[in-house]
């Protein structure tokens, strides 16, 4: 009897605290945020963001809130989202005192990586390691590796397509729509940078070998692992103080296993890469010059960095998402948008013709030198990323000690602020009345649009892989649309997305036909 009474008291106390503390905090308003309109119950609890994120509806909910309430909306007890250009420089620009929010702690492993490191000093050290590897000169030197990989895609498409249409994986009849699966293309390329050919393209699958820390081998799907781990981690990121508590309540959930699978895939690839490097050293050969070498050697002195395995592991895992998954998302979206926009495709092919005439009949791929400065090709890419950004969320930043001003509004320290990428990219004052339409022409001779472009974020924490992303997308888009026609199931067919931290695309079923070029 006493036990039941005690349990009732404890449960009542927990619920009372859960209800009263948010209400009291709201009315006391210690951060001065009650002046901003709130979306639903977000001013009282972070659970609004957690639930919407898990349902993949958070970005659209915030977008609708901005359309209704204006440029600044409260999307959490201590989080204000902006939707205007004037907030971009204050929050993300070079020299901003704002730091990465505690949100990124949800993705942290045993060590920090270049993407989730909050402290600027730590981030600068990590960023410098990759600076040489991601420099434009070194990326172009990877053209041979990338071209060889993309040639496999061309070979498979040529083998399974003709004037009636065919497919990427060779499993479909000529009258069937097939799936253009850029996941196999981009994730396969990233794995190749570890010195391993996973056979994603040949098998039409992103399943590969995983290895536990104890050495046990098994098979796991790298794409499913990425999406699944990001779904749960991103949702919890909007309630960083509650992560340990929510994890303990949901530890039984299958989606936690996705993160373990992704870690184990990375362990296997990293161990194989380190073993290959050890073998080269024993044979007296020079170190392999690739992305992984940035984690193994100092680029100036060529002396070993001797990083802990856990740090190498978390940086390598970050490469899968940043350099592989997000580029795949952008490519799939651009293919869909160009396939449904005939006038843009026609103009793109007119611009591409001289570049492909220079390749000669023996080559299906253009030289990056011949296409990297084509303005309409770049416009097609930027317009696709504008409408369907790989990271649609407003990347959160934390107001530092002493507070700071954002877009004319003063914020106290430890307040979270962000700019909704999805909403800003649809601002009619910036991008025109047709901001919801795919029109690459808007980027031509209009340099001001880049200042409102958050496809790779901006400032000192902008995406370090921007150069390689443009390199990969330019060659892939140019090659595919010069060589093939892509027919959608219907002119108004919409490509589905599932939002985690990234806006993952669903299947893209198209009829692929070889052009007479």
Binding-site residue positions for heme: 463
In the structure encoding, which two tokens stand for residue 251, read together?
A: 């530890």
Q: Using CA atoms of 353, 355, 359, 360 in order, give the dihedral in degrees to the nearest 10.
A: 30
Helices and strands (H, E) in the chain, number of each type: 20, 14
Q: How far, in Å, CA of 467 to CA of 15, rounded?
A: 51
What does the DSSP assignment read for 432-474? Answer: -TTTTS--GGGGTT-GGGGGG--TT--GGGS-TTHHHHHHHHH
Do the strands 79-82 and 416-419 form a parallel or antiparallel pair, or are they unpaired? Answer: parallel
Q: How far, in Å, CA of 77 to CA of 415, rounded?
A: 9
Angle at the Cα of 265 (from 264 to 271), degrees rounded to 5? 85
Q: Which residues pair with 470 in a beta bridge?
A: none
Residues making up the binding site: 463
Residue 349, CA distances (Å) to 215, 335, 384, 477, 482 in order: 50, 14, 17, 11, 6
Task: Name the packing angle between helices 182-192 and 466-483 (round to 10°).
Answer: 130
- 362 Cα distance to chain centroid: 35
Q: Which residues pair with 208 in a beta bridge?
A: 220
Q: H/E element holding 73?
A: strand 72-76
């Amino acid at each position: 009897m006493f036990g039941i009474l005690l349990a009732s008291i404890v449960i009542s106390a927990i619920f009372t605290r859960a209800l009263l503390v948010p209400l009291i905090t709201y009315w006391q308003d210690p951060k001065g945020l009650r002046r901003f309109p709130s979306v639903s119950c977000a001013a009282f609890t972070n659970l609004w963001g957690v639930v919407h994120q898990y349902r993949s509806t958070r970005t659209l909910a915030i977008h609708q809130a901005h359309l209704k309430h204006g440029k600044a909306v409260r999307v959490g007890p201590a989080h204000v989202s902006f939707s205007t250009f004037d907030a971009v420089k204050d929050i993300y620009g070079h020299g901003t005192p704002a730091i990465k929010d505690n949100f990124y702690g949800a993705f942290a492993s045993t060590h920090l990586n270049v993407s989730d490191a909050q402290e600027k000093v730590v981030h600068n050290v990590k960023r410098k390691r990759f600076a040489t590897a991601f420099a434009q000169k070194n990326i172009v030197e990877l053209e041979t590796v990338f071209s060889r990989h993309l040639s496999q895609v061309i070979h498979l498409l040529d083998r399974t397509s003709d004037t009636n249409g065919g497919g990427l994986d060779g499993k479909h009849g000529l009258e069937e729509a097939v799936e253009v699966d850029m996941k196999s293309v981009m994730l396969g390329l990233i794995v190749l940078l570890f010195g391993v050919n996973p056979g994603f393209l040949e098998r039409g699958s992103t399943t590969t070998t995983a290895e536990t820390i104890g050495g046990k081998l098994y098979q796991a799907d790298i794409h499913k692992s990425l999406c699944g781990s990001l779904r749960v981690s991103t949702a919890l990121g909007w309630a960083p103080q509650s992560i340990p508590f929510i994890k303990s309540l949901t530890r039984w959930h299958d989606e936690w296993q996705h993160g373990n699978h992704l870690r184990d895939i990375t362990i296997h690839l990293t161990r194989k890469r380190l073993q290959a490097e050890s073998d080269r050293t024993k044979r007296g050969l020079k170190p392999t010059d690739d992305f992984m070498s940035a984690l193994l050697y100092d680029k100036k002195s060529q002396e070993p960095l001797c990083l802990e395995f856990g740090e190498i592991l978390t940086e390598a895992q970050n490469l899968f998402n940043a350099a592989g998954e997000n580029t795949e998302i952008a490519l799939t979206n651009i293919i869909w948008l160009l396939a449904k926009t005939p006038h843009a495709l026609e103009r793109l092919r007119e611009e591409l013709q001289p570049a492909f005439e220079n390749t000669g009949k023996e080559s299906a791929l253009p030289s990056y030198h011949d296409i990297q400065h084509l303005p309409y090709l770049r416009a097609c890419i930027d317009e696709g990323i504008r409408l369907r950004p790989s990271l649609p969320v407003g990347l959160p930043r934390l107001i530092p000690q002493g507070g700071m001003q954002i877009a004319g509004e003063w914020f106290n320290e430890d307040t979270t602020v962000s700019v909704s990428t999805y909403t800003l990219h649809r601002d009619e004052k910036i991008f025109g009345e047709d901001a919801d339409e795919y029109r690459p022409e808007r980027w031509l001779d209009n340099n001001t649009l880049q200042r409102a472009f958050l496809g790779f974020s901006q400032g000192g924490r902008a995406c370090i892989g921007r150069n390689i992303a443009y390199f990969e997308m330019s060659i892939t888009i140019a090659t595919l649309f010069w060589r093939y026609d892509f027919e959608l199931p219907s002119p108004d067919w919409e490509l589905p997305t599932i939002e985690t931290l990234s806006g993952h695309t669903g299947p893209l079923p198209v009829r692929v036909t070889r052009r007479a070029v």
